[in-house]
Amino acid sequence: MGVDVSYETGVAIVCIDNPPVNAMSEAVLSSLHDVVAGISSRRDIRVVVFSGASKAAFLSGADLTELPLLLADPELLGRRMSDVGSLYQLIADLPQVTIAAVGASAMGGGLELLLVCDFVVASERAKFGLPEVSIGLMPGAGGTQRLFQRIPSHHAREMLLLGAPIGAEQALRLGLISRMCPREEVEEQSLEMARQLAGLPAIAVQSIKRAIAAAVSSQPLDVGLDVEREEFLRVANSADAQTGPAAFLERRKPVFEHK
């Protein structure tokens, strides 16, 4: 129970397992932070897949059994929110590509987690929402900010201010998720995407990810273009940049060394 990690070539699979609803308890938060921090410096890991073991939720957000104690102690609550925010920023800043494999609903902190992932593969039956307002609270781990980067603003306002969830089909139309599939295929489709990404040259993939981050930030366009040029030159000087074109001209599959 907690956070389980498994590995295959180039891929780490991080599974949140906190029955019955995969709440973000203090123990889960601490374990997840340690796991992500450890993965961040591993050059052999090129893709990270986040999943949930519970059939009820990918991640349900705050542990409601801990919430009364947190609400009674503003200082403790402030530290907890800071820790959650630091975790999500750590995931957002990972050099590896991240995939959220959402087999069940992602509500509250669960939705905020998938908002920091590069791709979201979700079950056709999954629900997505930020329902905090319905219990007198509000999102506090990036939901009010990152949701506007992912979907049109009027839909983001509706999700935040009404607290009503949306289904997977609408989430796909809005761009909140990347792919929708039957629940029993979520894990395999996520791993298939992960394996494909892990087989691509890591230097190029990670440079593209950094350039994308500049594109979706609030920086002016010329700043983003400078980042793109810098990353292009970094990629062009890599060994894989020599391997790829040569293999193309020789009509063979390239073998990338990720350096």
Between residues 133 and 120, the one the model is more confident about: 120
Phi/psi at 54 (nearest 5 deg)?
-75, 140
Model's pTM, two decimal places?
0.90
CA end-to-end span of the chain: 37
Q: Which pLDDT value is given to residue 229?
A: 82
Q: How many CB atoms lie within 10 A of CB 61?
A: 27
Q: Which pLDDT value is given to residue 1?
A: 66
pLDDT in tens, 211-249: 999 888 877 878 888 887 888 788 777 887 777 677 766
Mean predicted confidence (pLDDT) in 114-131 = 96
Q: Which pLDDT value is given to residue 183?
A: 94
Q: How many CB atoms lie within 10 A of CB 6?
A: 10
pLDDT in tens, 135-186: 888 998 999 999 999 999 999 999 999 999 999 999 999 999 999 999 999 9
Q: Which pLDDT value is given to residue 38?
A: 96
pLDDT in tens, 35-86: 999 999 999 999 999 999 888 789 888 888 888 888 888 899 899 989 999 9
Three-state helix/strand/coil letters over 126-194: CEEECHHHHHCCCCCCCHHHHHHHHCCHHHHHHHHHHCCCEEHHHHHHHCCCCEEECHHHHHHHHHHHH
Q: Apex CA 26: angle with CA 194 and CA 62, to 5°?
A: 75
Q: Which pLDDT value is given to residue 190?
A: 97
Q: Which pLDDT value is given to residue 184?
A: 94
Q: How confident is the model at residue 210 (pLDDT cuts 50, 70, 90)?
A: very high
pLDDT of 92 > 70? The answer is yes
